[in-house]
Structure 1
Amino acid sequence: MVDPVTLAVIQAGLQQVCDEMDLTFSRAAFSPVIAEADDRSDGIYDATDGSLIAQGSKGLPVFVGVMQFSTRTLIARIRDAVTAAPEPGDIYIVNDPYLGGTHLMDVRFAMPVWREGKIFCWLSNTGHWPDTGGAVPGGFSASATSAEQEGLRLPPVKLFKRGVMDAEIWQIICSNIRVSEQRIGDVKAQAGALLVGAERLCALLDRYGDATVQEAISAMRGLAAAQMRAMLALIPEGTYRATATVDSDGVVNAPLTIALSVTRAGDGLTFDFTGSSAPCAGPMNSVRATTLSSVYLAMRHIFPDVPISAGAFEPLDVTGIAGTFLDAAYPRPVSGCAAEVSQRIAEAVFAALVQALPDRVTAAPAGTSGNFGLGGHDPETGADYVMYQISGGGYGGFAGGDGIANGCSTIGISKAPPVEIMEQKFPVLYRRYALHEGSGGAGKHRGGLGLDYEIELLRGTARASFVMDHGLTGPQGVLGGGDGAVNRVEVMRDGKVLVPEHLSKAQDIALAPGDSVRVRTPGGGGYGNPAERDPERVAEDLRLGRYLAEDIQRLWPHAAKAPG
């Protein structure tokens, strides 16, 4: 049996392998969404069933479960001779959402690590490509009604064979995506990250021996399961219910409901989504892998000290998604599943479990990634472009204090690319980049503030598309706290303001020079009774301009006349 010290060193070593893959990927990538926003993740997966062994600490949590499922699918397809068997130097590419993925823009690479003629494990990573074809630049087609309208769908195929890129497959990809000449930088960065990971992993194996590392991996999985069960024991036995709402699917202007009951019985936790809305016409369907991963990442938020391993998921059982929009099958469109629906799922988990663990669970965060795609032609450079903007929002208040302002999304650590980089690469000017004042929900501990930005097109023509959410209802407050402010999107054209019919979902909006788009992202929900908020903290918010005097009077009337 591996001793505790060696186990800890190997566990840290595997984590370091993944962290180096993450760093390599971001530093070598060309696209700002990867190089600056870090919309990517890398991990190590079991050779037999694809189970998660380790993931980079700076990778998107939503990809924790997703890459596990996609790797498992790849292994099964190889076993069943659906996909060609691997050889040393091979790297597979896949973005099919229905084969353990998210949406088409999240492109996954997978590479086996060979030891003495056998596969020891798989390395896999995911990067958000700015475009994979489809009806609109960027792939976020708000009114798509089938997968084909969202872009090119790739089953697992070998993009690299024995270390050499397959030129024919690459040409197929390039012929179906926009600004394809720019993707080669991201592809080489993504493949390079796996090669770095293999080199670092083999050095670890050479140092400790394959058998010892394998024994440590098995022990890590068992310990993660035990730690998660110990955390679940903090939840009183019983059933806790909550709901979360998606504004609309982008096609039918009616809300979608996520109904959730969480039951603690024995040493496990069951998440039952029975009663959630049926599959929808538009792109706000979620594939099974994303739904399961959304539950896992929500639990990671609640119990962050449990190690990232497949073992941590073993005590968690997800039921009741069959026949709902949380278990989409081809050809249902799914571009909104990873960035939007996943966050509503996490919100439902938070709203249910805050009843049982008020000291550990927060009010709802902003809950939208703010997917904004802009594609057009820049006459100054003579080149086409696809710009993808993500944005942060307010975190929910919690037992220990107010929510963070303009934090990253629930599903990951990806951040908005720097304004200076975006203005350098695209023909746009940021007219505004500030906090969304007054957006945090009232409470004993208020929600954090969202983001308020405005982008003006400087030259050429362009088309804008949005797939966002929380434009109809704000993030939920808890334990008496108020909801955060809603997401607001406005398009200014020829001096007129356009508000999309679906509030924060629209596509193919033509822009000319001087036109602009303004987005105000949601604030977090409030935590606890607003009447219990310290009047001095209310006065401080007023002094700093976070809220107007009339907002203070409405939200915290007990403190409206506080000094300051």
Structure 2
Amino acid sequence: MSGSEGPDPILLTLFANRFMSVAEAMGRSLQQTSISTNIKERLDFSCALFAPDGDLVANAPFIPIHLGSMSFAVKYQMKLYGNDLKEGDVLMTNSPHAGGSHLPDITIISPVFHPESKETIFFTASRGHHADIGGILPGSMPPTSVNIFEEGAEIVNFKLVKEGIFDSKGLYEYMIDKPAKYPGSSGCRNIRDVESDLKAQVAANHKGIQLLHQMVEDYGLKTVQEYMYHIRNNAESSVRNLLRDVAKRLNTNILTAVDYLDDGSPICLRVEINEDEGSAVFDFEGTGCEVRGNLNSPASVVHSAVIYCMRAMLDLDIPLNAGCLVPLDVRIPSGSLLAPSRTAAVCGGNVLTSQRIVDVVLRAFHACAASQGCTNNLTFGAGGKDSDGRAIAGWGYYETIAGGSGAGPNWHGTSGVHTHITNTRIGDVEILERRYPVLVQTFGLRQGSAGAGNFRGGEGAVRELEFLEPLQVSILSERRTRAPYGLEGGEQGGLGRNIWVKQRREEDGDAPADGLPNTREINIGGKATIRMGKGDRLRIETPGGGGWGLPGEHDGVQSDGLGDVKRWAARGSLAEREAAQAGF
């Protein structure tokens, strides 16, 4: 069944789905046992299985930006601990230096030991975005951060569970005491929710361990691990064939693309394909230097974006795994915003720069027009430190907001969805309004924001929230000055906008006057944090997707043969799309 005869295709499919089902079961466990809006409702988490060498084996379709980079986190911990791991140990990390994405994404890693030999046969891991882990602002996604210490607790390595004993004291030290030592920063504002969700991640990992042990019992370790590597080899072979096909289709083995962040920083890519080997060099030389802000992106995130693009362009039903990267040599210039210094701020690099990397890769491969290129990160909350430096208990809320996806050679873009590597839900209106002092005044599609073309881009969204008490409100967004590009003559998508609808108040020296409205509108730009008063509103208008081809040539019938780029680009739940299309 294996070896020189190659894998049995039926068993290959069976094991691919069996591994994915383990990750899916881990995800269901995490959702059911978590308590935060972020994890339980928005599903901002990922679960995956890893080989004994730390390579990604399989995952369910969670958050692609997590899945590509988690392997870096697992391998980093393997180097640190070596053989110093025992049954019942669970590791915790979030540092970008140690394979993390940004600090709110905490990774929990559990080794899986063979019941008899006690050798490590797998790792299970889960990564969840926690609503607050300290830092200078509630929500731990400060748009103004200039170093990593302002973004909250950083954990390079911590044994959260040691031989079955949960270390609450050590957790509190890492999450509350250490980040509060930095001037202007607070520790975690709601440690009880974070601790509960971390325990849910530990439980999810344990669920994966149980199911893997059952699989080994059913088939034997030798067969299970053989097919684990067959699955990886299958993905590698698929990517090699894709690279050969692209070179043939475009009649060149050199692909180039460049796009710019809103601050003007370029992201450059040159892909050189070796058709004989089916391999390629992805060289980001020419990309801008590290920025004094938070749009720097850890190298693990760059690899996540690349592995996502390769999987998205494959028209095959295979798991996203480490095999997708084997034929690729990814080169990132040191000191660039894609390989920043140890203390660089990165919270925007994970959620925004990563989207721009995807746009650049897909542009180089001429796969589709640009999607919204943003995740429109909204945070608000209370607590932290008062003017005397005393800690105040509080809370933080975080959500990402949908936009338009890009059109392709035979499909329209999709309106009002999370695009590419985001794949989270947005907070349900009823839950949001019940748990937090806000009202959702508007949630719908942003008409006129789609790029026109033979195939049109998707429409962005409009989301307007009214705050019922004074709160610190922050927005971290892109594509506010540089629009999503169209291809083959298609027009660009609409730029995003963030508008503060501010109540006129006498105490602000701005009392309502006869003939003037009671509010005024202020464009706050792409990255801002504001102390909003009672009755103030924030209206977020998200970017649309770019169009494909010259306008006016399409008959209005969308092709059914869409391919995986289209299916993977338009993320988000059907319920979310329907809510936006119906308007609120």
**Quick check: TM above 0.5?**
yes
Q: State which of 40, 45, 59 in structure 2 corresponds to 1:40.
A: 45
| Contact 2:238-2:314 at 8 Å conserved across structures | no
Corresponding residue for 1:499?
523
Deviation at 1:425, TM superposition (A): 1.1
Corresponding residue for 2:70?
67
Q: Give distance in 1, aligned partners of 2:34 and 2:459.
A: 31
Deviation at 1:185, TM superposition (A): 2.5
- The one-letter amino acid paired with 2:479 is H
Corresponding residue for 2:243?
232
The 3-state SS of whatever aligns with 2:149 is helix
| Contact 2:375-2:422 at 8 Å conserved across structures | no
Residues 1:362 and 2:368 aligned together: yes
Rate the CA distance shift 1:339–1:384 in 2: closer, same or farther, 3 A.
same
Q: What are the equivalent positions in structure 2 for 1:410-559 lying under 5 Å apart?
A: 410-459=420-469, 461-494=470-503, 495-500=519-524, 503-507=525-529, 509-534=530-555
Provide, for residues 353-398 of structure 1, a one-character-per-residue CA deviation record: whole Å limited to 9, x for no partner: 11xxxxxx22111111111110127xxxx98321112111101112
Corresponding residue for 1:308?
320
Deviation at 1:403, TM superposition (A): 0.7
Corresponding residue for 1:19?
24
Corresponding residue for 2:189?
178
Deviation at 1:535, TM superposition (A): 7.8
Deviation at 1:304, TM superposition (A): 5.0
Q: State which of 331, 340, 353 in structure 2 corresponds to 1:328.
A: 340
Compute the TM-score of the two structures, normalised by the length of structure 1. 0.88
Between 266-275 and 343-352, report the one with greater CA deviation: 266-275
Provide, for residues 236-274 of structure 1, a one-character-per-residue CA deviation record: whole Å limited to 9, x for no partner: 2421221111113xxxxxx21101122222211222111
Residues 1:191 and 2:206 aligned together: no
Give the 4+ runs in structure 1 shifted more than 3 A: 533-537
Deviation at 1:402, TM superposition (A): 1.3
Residues 1:399 and 2:414 aligned together: no
| Contact 2:59-2:319 at 8 Å conserved across structures | no
Deviation at 1:135, TM superposition (A): 0.7
| Contact 1:98-1:329 at 8 Å conserved across structures | no
| Contact 1:385-1:426 at 8 Å conserved across structures | no
Aligned length: 511
Corresponding residue for 2:289?
278
Q: State which of 49, 56, 63 in structure 2 corresponds to 1:52.
A: 56
Corresponding residue for 2:507?
none
Q: State which of 271, 276, 292 in structure 2 corresponds to 1:262.
A: 271
| Contact 2:189-2:393 at 8 Å conserved across structures | no
Residue segments in structure 2 that go unaligned for 5+ positions in a row: 177-186, 384-391, 504-518, 559-584
Deviation at 1:534, TM superposition (A): 3.9
Between 162-171 and 12-21, report the one with greater CA deviation: 162-171
Rate the CA distance shift 1:295–1:69 in 2: closer, same or farther, 3 A.
same
- The one-letter amino acid paired with 1:487 is G
Deviation at 1:298, TM superposition (A): 1.6
Q: What are the equivalent positions in structure 2 for 1:105-144 lying under 5 Å apart?
A: 105-115=104-114, 116=116, 117-144=118-145
| Contact 2:190-2:395 at 8 Å conserved across structures | yes
Q: Give distance in 2, aligned partners of 1:296 and 1:416.
A: 25
Residue segments in structure 1 that go unaligned for 5+ positions in a row: 249-254, 355-360, 538-564
Corresponding residue for 2:226?
215
Corresponding residue for 1:159?
160
Deviation at 1:413, TM superposition (A): 1.8
Q: Give distance in 1, aligned partners of 2:479 and 2:94.
A: 27
| Contact 1:362-1:396 at 8 Å conserved across structures | yes
Deviation at 1:471, TM superposition (A): 0.5
Deviation at 1:39, TM superposition (A): 1.0
The 3-state SS of whatever aligns with 1:300 is helix
Residues 1:348 and 2:360 aligned together: yes
- The one-letter amino acid paired with 1:481 is G
- The one-letter amino acid paired with 1:148 is F
| Contact 2:29-2:204 at 8 Å conserved across structures | yes
Q: State which of 10, 27, 30 in structure 1 corresponds to 2:15.
A: 10
- The one-letter amino acid paired with 1:46 is A
| Contact 2:462-2:539 at 8 Å conserved across structures | yes
Residues 1:95 and 2:83 aligned together: no
Residues 1:371 and 2:380 aligned together: no
Provide, for residues 166-225 of structure 1, a one-character-per-residue CA deviation record: whole Å limited to 9, x for no partner: 121122144221111222321121111101111111111110011110111121222211
Q: Give distance in 2, aligned partners of 1:23 and 1:468.
A: 30
Q: Give distance in 2, aligned partners of 1:395 and 1:383.
A: 39
Provide, for residues 143-164 of structure 1, a one-character-per-residue CA deviation record: whole Å limited to 9, x for no partner: 2111101111001111111222
Deviation at 1:27, TM superposition (A): 2.2
Deviation at 1:533, TM superposition (A): 3.8
Deviation at 1:458, TM superposition (A): 1.2
Q: Give distance in 2, aligned partners of 1:304 and 1:182.
A: 41
% identity of equivalent residues: 29
Deviation at 1:405, TM superposition (A): 0.5
Deviation at 1:441, TM superposition (A): 0.5
- The one-letter amino acid paired with 2:428 is P
Provide, for residues 495-552 of structure 1, a one-character-per-residue CA deviation record: whole Å limited to 9, x for no partner: 222222xx21112x10111011110111000011114244899xxxxxxxxxxxxxxx
Q: CA RMSD of the aligned region, Å?
A: 1.7
Q: Give distance in 1, aligned partners of 2:539 and 2:311.
A: 33
Q: State which of 297, 302, 308 in structure 1 corresponds to 2:308.
A: 297
Q: Give distance in 2, aligned partners of 1:123 and 1:536.
A: 44
Q: State which of 211, 232, 255 in structure 2 corresponds to 1:200.
A: 211
Deviation at 1:400, TM superposition (A): 2.1
- The one-letter amino acid paired with 2:110 is M
| Contact 1:287-1:329 at 8 Å conserved across structures | no
Q: Give distance in 2, aligned partners of 1:43 and 1:160.
A: 19
Provide, for residues 408-447 of structure 1, a one-character-per-residue CA deviation record: whole Å limited to 9, x for no partner: 1321321212111111111100000110110100111110
Rate the CA distance shift 1:443–1:197 in 2: closer, same or farther, 3 A.
same
Q: Give distance in 2, aligned partners of 1:26 and 1:134.
A: 26
Rate the CA distance shift 1:535–1:17 in 2: closer, same or farther, 3 A.
closer
Corresponding residue for 1:168?
169
Residues 1:76 and 2:87 aligned together: no
Q: Give distance in 2, aligned partners of 1:211 and 1:376.
A: 53
| Contact 1:131-1:178 at 8 Å conserved across structures | yes
The 3-state SS of whatever aligns with 2:194 is helix
